[in-house]
Amino acid sequence: MTTAVAAPFRFFSLQVVRTRRLGPSMVRVTFGGEDLAYFFSDGRDQSLSLFLPHPGQREPRVPVELGDGWWQGWRELPDDVRAVMRSYTLRALRREPDEIDIDFVLHTPAGPASQWAARAVAGDRVLLLGPAVADNRAIRFRPPQDTDLVVVWGDETALPAVSAILESLPAGQRARVWLEVHDAGNIQDLVTEADAEVTWLVHDASRAEIPHSPKGVGGAPIPMALGALRDTQLPPAEHPYVWIAGESSCVKELRRHFVGERGIDRRRVTFVGYWRQGLTEEQLRERGE
């Protein structure tokens, strides 16, 4: 049995079952393992911590035997030994057999997680810190019961969460969605019973680095959707709910738009920075972000 950390989260020892390319810069990795019998999640935008081995290692090094002291023990390992940790969103959970899907963005220049995903094969081992309780604090999409319009924006890193969110919406729920991708080949067919209108915004495919966005004040990227949103009249709604996730600066710009320009109650706007332009996840953790 893999060591527990702190309820409702625990470590899961998993291995790659298969991989599938979803587009020019996206790959889906399916994981399996006996530990998944204890993995529970209500889905939507379930956040996970994935630990990956360095090249040449058979499995990621995380001192789970230290129990709650694993974090400090992990940080004290040498850089070339300590497992690479990255945050991802659960795309899907299935039973019989127990499997989960995680979608990876492949980008240039490639970081360690992108490099790992690009060459992942069946049998590769990973460690996952995830939920043992279906309703947990790592799920951020929580529209109030009176919500009569769901508004969503995400970049490619948020596409798995947006896909799961749309699948979770009930029939008849009105939703307006904007998704930004770097290549038209990454556009996916999204399944939902909701009354959803999805707008795809494609960046200039001739440029290779992430993000492919114009720069605003201080060099921060501006989401393409901002202009489209300003030109769009949303359906009338008394109780809208907004969920925005992706590059941190873009998320903040859009939050200002919804709260400041559209007057939506800030308590009904969920915003999540999945990454920040110019910073690695290690640097973000060091800064406490």
Q: Is residue 287 part of a domain?
A: no
pLDDT of residue 277 exceeding 90, the answer is no
Examine the domain organization and report whether 189 and 248 are in the same domain.
Answer: yes
Residue 91, domain CATH: 2.40.30.10
Give the pLDDT score at 109.
76
The 8-class DSSP code of residue 186 comes to G
Q: Is position 282 within any domain?
A: no
Q: For residue 119, what are the domain limits?
A: 4-136
Look at the chain and report how many structural domains it folds into: 2
How far does CA 249 lie from the centroid of its chain?
16
- Given 98, 114, 136, which residue is the final one in a domain? 136
Closest CA to 124 of 19, 281, 3: 19
Whether residues 215 and 132 fall in one domain: no
Same structural domain, 129 and 10: yes
| Residue range 35-64: mean pLDDT, rounded | 95
User: Which one of 136, 165, 195 terminates a domain?
Assistant: 136
Is the pLDDT at 77 greater than 70, yes or no?
A: yes
The reply to whether 130 and 153 lie within a common domain is no
Do 27 and 73 share a structural domain? yes
Question: Nearest Cα to 250, choosing from 225, 284, 278, 218?
Answer: 225
Which of 231, 226, 9 minimizes the C-alpha distance to 131? 9
Q: If pLDDT is split at 50, 70 and 90, which confidence band does 281 have? A: low
Residue 180 lies in a domain: yes
pLDDT in tens, 167-184: 999 999 999 999 999 889
Please determine, for residue 192, whether its predicted confidence score (pLDDT) is greater than 90. Answer: yes
Dist CA 153 CA 144 (whole Å): 18
Q: Give per-residue pLDDT as tens, 119-137.
A: 999 999 999 999 999 999 9
The answer to whether position 204 is within a domain reads yes
What global pTM score does this model have?
0.86
- What does the pLDDT read at residue 231? 87
